[in-house]
Structure 1
Amino acid sequence: MSRSVRDYIRTIPDFPHEGILFRDVTTLFADARGMRICVDQLLDPYAGTRIDRVAGLEARGFILGGAIAHQLGTGFVPIRKKGKLPGPRIEEAYVLEYGEAVMEVHEDAVEPGQRILLVDDLLATGGTAEAGIKLIERLGGEVAGCAFVIDLPELGGRKRLEALGMDVHALTSFEGT
């Protein structure tokens, strides 16, 4: 029987808080076949499309983004939480459920006109991804697409990114939060 990416994802109830169903992709990453299926399926909609670099959102987006960049034979751009990058950088604040956070990227990570594929494991409210998009665009890059393993549609992230004109691709979705 053929397995889908969804079959490799473990659900952990009440993590990190009571009432949350945590969708754990580490079980997907740990399985060689699951990881290969995931990378191939994340890339599939962009076959034949020019991708100059892959940007991954901290932290699990680094794992996926690195694998995808390797597959494409291109560079990788880490978009990190504030205070984690050593060189000259730009930052973008975004709103969380309770407060605000800041993402950063090195100011020389993207060259004007480059087409960037933005990658992460999970699309929830879309705040982190929107901050990543804004950082890429501020550096003169063009977001070729936004690829995620999991979409949580009830939280509205896909609609938020599509309202920005983004192409959004997710391998699977789960109801709830």
Structure 2
Amino acid sequence: MNLYLELFLCFAKIGAFTLGGGYAMVPLIEKEVVDNKGWLDKQEFIDSLALAQSAPGPIAVNTAVFVGYKSAGFLGAICTTLGAILPSFLIILIIALFFRDIKDNIYVEKSFKAIRPAIVALIATPLYRMGKNAGINKKNIIIPILVAVLIAFFNITPILFIVLAAIGGIVYGKVKEANK
């Protein structure tokens, strides 16, 4: 099959059957891209997630761009991006056409409430797996918790932590490189 079509269909399938947004798509993307297709290895996937999280925009789309570009260049990135966003766009468009008629339906409300715990699990699973694959242990978990508390309760801008993390990563990389 044409690689471009394969990239598009892979991400269209992921985009069509995932509820809960980008983080819920991460385990499906990993399964397809790393395990099934072999377009990226485990470390490249973790690196792509780090890039996807630091770039503006949804993590699933950013990851799709990275995978597509790595696999087939600029056209590959276009194919994966369209595959990732087109199903959601079409589904939301269809829902919007009928939502006014069904928004107060008790079964629709109950369905959305029933889906919420599953979505939390879909988001928690890749976060746990990414932490495990990145070598994060129990004592390293203190830093993100501390940052979350500082942002939530002391109104410190997240941009400060992004800049500090970037500087810290650069310094860490230089020190590690110098010690080789």
Shared fold by TM > 0.5? no
Q: Which has the higher contact order (CA 8 A, sep 6+)?
A: 2
Structure (1 or 2) with the greater helix fraction: 2
TM-score range, shorter chain: under 0.3
| The structure with more radius of gyration | 2
TM-score by length of 2: 0.25
Q: Which has the higher strand share?
A: 1
